[in-house]
Structure 1
Amino acid sequence: MGTAGKVVKCKAAIAWEEHKPLTIEEIEVAPPKDHEVRIKILASGVCGTDSAALKGKLGTKFPAILGHEAIGVVESIGKGVTTVKPGDKVIPLCLPQCRQCRACKNPNANLCVKNDFGSNSGLMHDNTSRFTCKGKQIYHFLFTSTFTEYSVIPEICIAKVNPAAPDEVCIIGCGFATGYGAAVNAKIPPGSTCAVFGLGGVGFSAMIGCKIAGAGRIIGVGSHKDKFPKAIELGATECLSPKDYDKPIQEVIREKTNGGVDFAFECSGNIDTMKAAFESTYIGNGVTVVLGVAGPNDKLCFHPGEVMMGRTIKGLPYGGFKSRDDIPKLVCDYMAKKFNLEFMVSQRLPVEKINEAFELMASGKGLRNLIIF
């Protein structure tokens, strides 16, 4: 493209500080350096993790360009890039896959050591940024930063996908992969009883995974009862609202399931909900998978005996998927109609309405709002 090797000026939504609305600004996006890719963003989902970052729960550095759930087209590539070329349709990956580290080489691990979850540096791997606005450096977010018309991303955070893939597959880049993967990679035996806590995009994706895995009973747990019909449509056999009972929901679930469910998936990020999910599982062999994003000072406390007697609590970052290897396969599965994604897209909004998208998410209305560039 004619812009290759040049600084690109474009529109972006910038989070100047936490707890403040994003503002639309003109930014400068530098060309990609070695092993980097610059892409033109087509659409980006607004995810709960973006909201968590804006609320200061992740240690994100500001000012930053948030966003990590997108689809785009490669505009230009830096030296050494071999897996994509200009014109390719791609999904940015907030979890890298370098294919060289211990986790990448282990078939049972996927948390690549080159991720930016722990350090929250907000910078590329050379410790510099590719974004500037009004002469000021703007930080990256999880190597993706998709609330912008153009973004620069490491090659190890890029998955080439089917060129015919529609905008909604951007959701596969985070929310769907996390929930769906957690269920299908948790090795649920057919006929198992499952509970999904949190009826948002991740929770509904987990329900789809539970159904595909062959779960015999899937209990959806959430306070927004208007979402119950959709949960049933996607595979839940019943739904429960904690507000309908005068006892803890975990007690209700244990009573309804002969001592507890086999698997519980926590998709809200609330500590009390995590504890409820754990305590809803069967004490002899129940498995709890924590997927929600908790705050930096949150602590999950329970007696060691609750684990010693047979329960398991674990996390599955990115649903346990190897990002560069598995995301293209999921897109192919979607294109082959093995699962549905359209239900997750509530509204398609221009970037100028991005704060409205955050407000809709906070109110519990809809599942995913897409920002269209």
Structure 2
Amino acid sequence: MKFVDEAKITVRAGDGGNGCLSFRREKYIPFGGPDGGDGGDGGDLYLVADKQVNTLVDFRYKRNYEAERGQNGQSKQCSGHRGEDLVIRVPIGTEAWDHDTDELIGDLAKDGDQLLVAKGGWHGLGNLRYKSSTNRAPRQTSSGTEGEKRRLRLEMKVLADIGLLGLPNAGKSTFIRQVSAAQPKVADYPFTTLYPNLGVVTLKDVRSFVIADVPGLVEGASEGAGLGIQFLKHLTRTRLLLHMVDMAPIDVKQDPVESVKIINKELERYSDALGSQDQWLVLNKMDLVPEDIRDDLCQEVLDRLDWKGKVFRVSGNSGEGCDQLCDEIMDYLDDIREAEQAAKDAERAELINSRKPSSEE
């Protein structure tokens, strides 16, 4: 299935039904009073996150969506039925933006999340509503209002715990094949990966996390070079970035240190939040580096970068160092989740205590 992470659609909620102009007419009652019913409200339009949907490709072929119109009112004081709501299912991690105002309408981050994007029109009133002591036979009604219409831009951001960064051909896809069941394309040329790949890494103790491999970046990506930065948005939801560095590049002129600096510069240009995100340095393809120069080469890279964070030496091809890296990633994620849960528990306890009556009361 083709990976599509952006789409533009037009949505329109249902119009409200019109009120009815009617008078009671029965045998022996030639001049009955007004009995026109109200119209029905127009149907609303919702976006719902569905774990069974993983791409926005369907929205490339169908771009217009409209909820049902409310039924018009009828005689004998019968109101029209409400228009049926329209539910559009989208992938988890989809953001809905107003195309005209560039306003974020909502973020569907969890399975089952629901977002109202277009409100149905109000029903019109039948002439029964206008009956009064001074107007016993009103001929006045009102029409239903139009349903809300919007142009939306849908943006899907994959949900992953870990994001892989690196220049093209840094070995990211080989690494994700080594540690997960994902099977991205691997070849000895740049830009083998053309769209994000997700892999689920499961440890021996059954704990697991999701890792995302995005297409490699090049210098000037923020200006559109290479594949641009269109896929960087998929890293904004991650907890940790693994910066993968090719320690044995095919092009001997490629400097590992400059590779790291180029990527980090593009991250900062994209957003301050992504530029300051937690990042570990992963020195890849160590099996291709002669053993007698490994230590010196790695230390030179760290010294020139003045790197203070965590560093790992791995080989995505042979698997060297991959298990240790995955174990430490899992421990890191567990610590974050425990801290978040502790914060939620403390907030809940504080809320409960605030609702308890004081002893003085």
TM-score (norm 2): 0.23
* Structure possessing the higher radius of gyration over alpha carbons: 2
Report 1 or 2 for greater relative contact order, CA contacts < 8 Å, sequence distance ≥ 6. Answer: 1
TM-score (norm 1): 0.22
